[in-house]
Structure 1
Amino acid sequence: MTAPEKGPASYFPSIEKKYGRPIAEWKDLIHSSPLSKHMELVTWLKTEHGLGHGHANALVAHTLAERSGT
């Protein structure tokens, strides 16, 4: 049995269920955005794609952490 996800990734199942897109697609959108700052990306996901704050924040935090290697 695998341990449950912790941190931002713990939101991923509910993000996929609520918004109907796989996490990889959301990450691709974040990577292709001309924005680079955390809160700019969060605001963009909220206004342009209708995500809630917590879901947008989790996606951005996880994606930027991967980008920086942490």
Structure 2
Amino acid sequence: MPEQRVLAPATTDGVKGPASYFPSIERTYGRPVQEWLDLIVERLDGQRHMEVVSWLKSEHGLGHGHANALVGYVRAHLPQ
């Protein structure tokens, strides 16, 4: 399978949906959203949505809403 990447939006000004959480995620966890997106792309290859959400919560300390927003964003933007 070729390597896939989901890119973070250049700006979240006026954005609705999962990406609206991105500024808060970066402030709260101190890592760029792109790092989280890259980790999630790797995990989604073989794991289900809620399994990846649980992993983000248990291994990285993300809150449920932030973890779910990141995974949802990746799933919505992965090439089919």
Report the count of equivalent residues. Answer: 68
Which protein has the bigger helix share? 1
Paired amino acid for 1:49 = H
- Return the TM-score normalized by structure 1: 0.87
Alignment partner, residue 38 of structure 2: 28
Alignment partner, residue 59 of structure 1: 70
| 1:66 Cα offset (Å) | 0.6
Paired amino acid for 2:39 = L
- Inter-partner Cα distance in structure 2 for 1:66 and 1:42: 17
- Inter-partner Cα distance in structure 2 for 1:51 and 1:30: 13
**Structure 1 stretches of 5 or more lacking a match?**
none
- Return the TM-score normalized by structure 2: 0.77
